Amino acid sequence: MKIAHRVLGLLFALPLLFAAGESTAQSYPSKPVKFVVGLPPGGGTDILARLIGQKLAEQLGQQIIVENKPGADAQIATEQVAKSAPDGYTLLVGTSSGMILNPSLYPVPYDVLKDFIPITVFGPAPVVFAAHPSFAATSVKELIALARAKPGALHYSTGGTVFQVAGELIKQQAGVNIVHVPYKGSSPAINAALAGDVPMVATSIAAVLPQLKAGKLRALAVTSTRRSLVLPEVPTVAESGLANYEYMMWTGLFAPAATPRAIIDKLYGEMSAALKSDRLKERFAGLSYETGGIVGMPPAEFAAMHRAELAKWTKLVKELNIRPE
C-alpha cells in the first residue's frame, strides 16, 4: 500500500517538475551569463567567444561576459566551470585540445565526460602543413617519398601538442620518421620555418595565412576531410595519399553537469540561431574558421562525438608516444 502511495505521489509530482523546468527556461537568463575561456585575450578562441557572445547577448537581452582564465593548458578554467553552480550562468568555451588531448596527456582534476554537458560546436578548423618555398616537397605525397628516402633527416615545427598530433598521425599512417621540433607558441614555430631552421610547420590556417598569401610559405595540405573554405586550392592530406587521414580542431560550449535540460535546450536553440547568422559566418570565415559541417551540432550528437573522439585520441596519443612538451 505504501509503495502504491509513493508511485502515485511521483506521478502527481511529474507535471510539477516539468512545469518548473519550463518556468526555469522561460525566465533564463535573468542576469549576465559568463563564458570562461582557458586562453589569453586576443587569440582565436577568445575572439570566437566574444563574437558568439555578442550575438547571443542581442538575442537573449542579457550581457555575455567573457572571462579569460589562462593557465595549465586551460585546466584552471575547465576545473572552475566543472565546480560552478549548474544553473546556466557559468559556461565553458572548451576546445578539442582542452577537452580531448589534455585528459589524454595529464591527470586532470575533473572528468570531461561526467562533469560537463556539451551544448554545441562552433569554430572548427583544420591544421595546415606549410613549407619553406625552397623545400623539395610540394605535396604530402612528395613529403612522404622524401621522408622514406631520408629517414630521420626531415623536421617539422609546432607551437603545441594540438598541432603535433597532426604531424605524428601522418608519420604513423605513412610509416615514416620525421622529427618533431617543439616551440612555445605558433609564432616562433612559424618563424623557424620562415628562417629555414626547419623545412615545414604544422599550425592553424589563421596563424600562417599572411605568410601563405605573401608566398613566404607554401601550403602542402590541410588535415580536414574536405578542402578548407579559406584555402580551397590546397588539397587535404587524404587526397594526397593517406585515405584514412582526418584531424580537426574545434571549439564548443559546455555547461556543468546537472544543468537543467530546459536550460541546455534553450542555450542550444539560441546558439543554433546565432550560428546561422550571415554576419557571424562572415566573421568566422574571416578568421579562417569553417562555418559548415559540425557547426551547430545538437547536444546529443556533440556528446556522442566528444565521447568517441576522447576514446580515439586517448588510444592514439599512447600509440604515437606523444608527451607534453
| pLDDT for the residue 22 | 55
Cell numbers describing residue 180: 618533431
Provide the residue ranges of all domains of the chain, joining segments of one domain with +: 31-125+249-319, 126-240
CATH placement of domain 126-240:
3.40.190.10
Cell numbers describing residue 266: 534553450
DSSP 236: B
The fold for domain 31-125+249-319 equals D-Maltodextrin-Binding Protein; domain 2 (3.40.190)
| pLDDT for the residue 10 | 53
Which segments within 192-314 are labelled E, that is strand?
Answer: 200-204, 218-222, 248-256
Of residues 193, 195, 222, the one with CA closest to residue 290 = 222
- Residues in contact with 187: Cβ distance below 8 Å, sequence separation at least 6, in sequence order: 159, 207
- CB of 136 closer than 8 Å to CB of 142: yes
Of residues 114, 100, 75, the one with CA closest to residue 257 = 114
| pLDDT for the residue 25 | 72
| pLDDT for the residue 260 | 98
Question: pTM for this one?
Answer: 0.88
Cell numbers describing residue 8: 502515485
DSSP string computed for 49-118: HHHHHHHHHHHHTS-EEEEE---GGGHHHHHHHHTS-SSSSEEEEEEHIIIIIHHHHS--SS-TTTSEEE
| pLDDT for the residue 283 | 93
Each residue's pLDDT expressed in tens, for the chain with a length of 325 residues = 455 555 555 555 545 444 444 556 788 999 999 999 999 998 889 999 999 999 999 999 999 999 999 999 999 999 999 999 999 999 999 999 999 999 999 999 999 999 999 999 998 999 999 999 999 999 999 999 999 999 999 999 999 999 999 999 999 999 999 999 999 989 999 999 999 999 999 999 999 999 999 999 999 999 999 999 899 999 999 999 899 999 999 999 999 999 999 999 999 999 999 999 999 999 999 888 988 889 999 999 999 999 999 999 999 999 988 887 6
| pLDDT for the residue 11 | 54
Q: How far is CA 216 from CA 62, 134, 168, 288, in A?
A: 45, 10, 25, 18
Give the dihedral sign, CA 19/25/30/34. Answer: positive
- Amino acid identity, position 78: T
- Residues in contact with 250: Cβ distance below 8 Å, sequence separation at least 6, in sequence order: 95, 96, 121, 123, 124, 125, 294
- CB of 151 closer than 8 Å to CB of 175: no
Fold matches, 31-125+249-319 and 126-240: yes
Give the dihedral sign, CA 55/56/62/63. Answer: negative
21 φ/ψ sector (left φ>0, alpha ψ -120 to 50, else beta): alpha
| pLDDT for the residue 241 | 86
